[in-house]
Amino acid sequence: MDVKLESPVAWVTGATSFLGRYVARQLNRDGFKVTGFSRRPIALASAVEWGFAAIEVGDFEPQMLKRAHRRFGAPAVVFHAIGSGSVGQAADNPTADYERTFGSAELLTEVLGQLCPATRLIYPSSAAVYGMVSEGAISESAPVNPISEYGKTKMLTEDMCRERAQIYGMQLIVARFFSVYGPWQKKLLLWDIAQRLLSGQSAITLGGTGSESRDFIHVVDAATMVVTLAQCETALGTFNIGTGRATPTMVLASKLVSAMESNAEISFTGISRPGDPMHQQADVRRLSEFGQIARVSLDQGLADYAYWIRHGG
């Protein structure tokens, strides 16, 4: 049964983030008036293109949230997309990552609890909370044992959000995203490979062994899943957001080279980065109970990404 929403308003923090903008667009398509929150100004045309009805610009602080509440009313759904978004960034500056990820969520939940506790909050966590898993699909009930600073901060932020939701009576969805990719993602493995191909490199060496496997999910599927869950009355708690299939990085790299119409050779250093698990594959049975399955194949998604890269990405 769908939620009978009292307000058509939705908030997306981190409005210029890779995932945030896709979630905003899907919320808009589903009939929400989306307010975005960003530290940097956004061009009007871009804001409209991604489905934002309004943008609050400035430092993320209580006054900004309270102002949006006064101007647009209480949000029915909030997607909190502020954070570093990568294991590497968190490792380089763990203190800043903690303050930005945990601190912003702590501030947000405090304000929501005071002003609009009926809000459905979607917290985007990560498969990094599971830590080192050798094989098989990982269920939401699996023990959390993060091995990276990024995963540890996500785990702590999950716990804090659950505690605040219980205190204030908020409805919480913790979305543990696996490896999200797609157009407008300007970092991580695919971006690195694509930029090297564009520069004309005929031999590309990547870190790791190439046998590390990840559950790659297209960003359109990921955004559709969480927005659909946000509108389902019984969809609460923790959800894996993935496809249920794992792909070795050597296979992913080869597929992107083909999609970019290149003959470049890919090799690996054999040295894995600290904090990177060997295997990640989502158990998506709980997700499928709510009718959510990945619809974009990896080949189709990489073709989509390659087209974007070749046309000015």
- The domains spanning 9-181+216-244+283-289 and 188-213+246-281+298-310 adopt the same CATH topology: no
- Write the DSSP string, 121-182: EEEEEEGGGG--B-SSPBPTTSPP---SHHHHHHHHHHHHHHHHHHHHT-EEEEEEE-EEE-
Task: Pick 9-181+216-244+283-289's CATH classification: 3.40.50.300, 1.10.20.140, 3.40.50.720, 3.40.50.2000.
Answer: 3.40.50.720
CB-count exposure of residue 135 (10 Å: 0-12, 13-18, 19+): exposed
Looking at the predicted structure, is the pLDDT value of residue 2 above 60?
A: no
Please state, rounded to an integer, the average pLDDT across all residues of the chain: 94
Instruction: Please give the average per-residue pLDDT across 218-237, as a whole number.
Output: 98
* Nearest C-alpha neighbor of 160 from the set 127, 229, 228, 112: 112
Residue 93 has pLDDT above 80, yes or no: no
How far does the chain reach from its first CA to its final CA, in angstroms?
40
**Token pair 């990276």 in the structure block, residue:** 148
Residue 10 is predicted with a pLDDT of: 98
Domain residue ranges of the chain, discontinuous segments joined by +: 9-181+216-244+283-289, 188-213+246-281+298-310
Average pLDDT of 233-252? 98
- Assigned CATH for 188-213+246-281+298-310: 3.90.25.10
pLDDT band at 272 (very low <50, low <70, confident <90, very high): confident
Q: What is the mean pLDDT of residues 232-239?
A: 97
In this prediction, residue 141 carries a pLDDT of 97
Distance (Å) of CA 282 to CA 76, 113, 140, 204:
28, 31, 9, 29
Q: Quote the distance between the C-alpha of residue 12 and its chain's center.
A: 12
- Per-residue pLDDT tens over the stretch 160-189: 999 999 999 999 999 999 999 999 999 999
- Taking 70 as the threshold, does the pLDDT of residue 279 lie above it? yes
CA angle at 127 for the pair 124 and 128, rounded to the nearest 5°? 105
